[in-house]
Structure 1
Amino acid sequence: MLQALDAAAESDEPLTIAAVARRAGVSREFIHSRPVLHAKVQEVAALREDARSRVALDQATVQEGRVADRSTLATKVIRQRDEIRRLADRVSELETARSKLLGEKLLALDSTAQVDIQEALSRSDRLQAENLDLKRRLNEAQRVRAELEDALAAVRVALAEALSDQRLNVTPLTPQRQRLPGAPPPPAP
C-alpha cells in the first residue's frame, strides 16, 4: 500500500484516495475504513500540493524576478547610454581645450622658432662668408706656393748650371778675415 502511495505521489496525476486505491488494487472504502491509512494519503496529498504551490510560487517569483531584472537592466542600459553620451561630450570638450592649448603653445613655440631660425640663418650667412674668405685665402696661398715652387725650381736650375761652370774653375773659398780698425795687417802667406 505504501508503495502505491509513493508511486501516486511521484506521478503527475492528482493524488486522491481513488488514485491510490486504483494503484494499490483496493477499493476506496478500504482506505476510508482505515483512519491511519486515510490520514497518510491526505497528508501526502497535502505535502504534494504544498510542494507544487511552492514550486509555482517560486516559478512566479522567478518570472517576476526576470521581469524585474529586465526592467532593471533596461534602466541600467538607459543610464549607461546617458553616461556614455555625457562622457563623449566631456572627451570632446577636453580635446577642444587640448587643441586650443596646443595651438597656443605652438604659436609661442613658432615665434621662438622664428627667432631661432633668424639666428640660424644669420649664423649660416656669416659661416658661408667666412668659408668663402677662407677659400679665397687658400687659393691665394696655393697660387703663391706655386709661384715660389716655380722660382725655387728656376734657382735650382741656375745653381746647377753655375756649379757645373765653376767646377771647371773651382777655387777654394777661404774665409777672409775682416780687419778691425786699428788692428795690424795679417801676416803674409
Structure 2
Amino acid sequence: MKKSLLALASGAFILGAAEFVMMGILPQTAEAMHVDIPTAGHFISAYAIGVCIGTLILVFGRKIPPKQLIIMFMVIAFVGNALSAFSVNAPMLLAARFISGLPHGAFFGTATLIAKTVADKGKEAQAVSAMVTGQTVANMIGVPAGTLMSEFLSWRLAFIVLSVWAAMTVFLVLAWVPAIAPVKDVGLAGQFRFLRKPGPWLILG
C-alpha cells in the first residue's frame, strides 16, 4: 500500500473511532457529566450534527488544495477530541463532540479525491477502498479498545489517544501525501447545479 494511502487511512481511523466510541463509553461519560444515560445520548447526536454541518466546508473551501484540507480536518479532530477528554460538564462535552464531527463527511470526500489521484491507473477503486479501511479498523479495533479503556482505566483516555493520533496523522499527511491541485472551481452556484435535474429531487422525495 502506498504511504499516502496509509496516511489517509490513519485519518479515516481517527474519525471512525471518534464517531462510534461514545456508544461504548456512554455510561461512564453520563456519570462523569452528572446526567442520565438518555441525556448523554445527545453526545452522540452532537457528533452527527457536526458531520452534517461540516460537509459545507467542501462548498466554501473548494479553492483550498486537498492536502491542506486534510491537514485542517485533522487539526479540527485533534481539537475536538482533546476538548472531549478534558470536558468538565455536559455542555462542554456537547460542544466538543460537535467540533469532532465537523471534519467527518468532508474528510472522506476529500480523501477519496486524493486516493483516486494517487492511485495507479485502473486501481482507483482499490485505492479508495484502502483509505476507507481505516474506518473499518476503527470499528473492529478502535471502538472496542476505547470501551476497554473506559471500563478499566478512564473514558477520557480514549479521547486523549484519538487526539494524539490526529496530531500524528498531520505529520503523516505532511510527509506522505503529495500536493494535488483543487478541483476546477465552478462557483458557489455551480456546487448545486445538480438540483436543476429531476433525479435528485426524486431521491429526496
TM-score by length of 1: 0.23
TM-score by length of 2: 0.22
Structure showing greater radius of gyration is 1
Q: Higher relative contact order at CA 8 Å, sep ≥6: structure 1 or structure 2?
A: 2
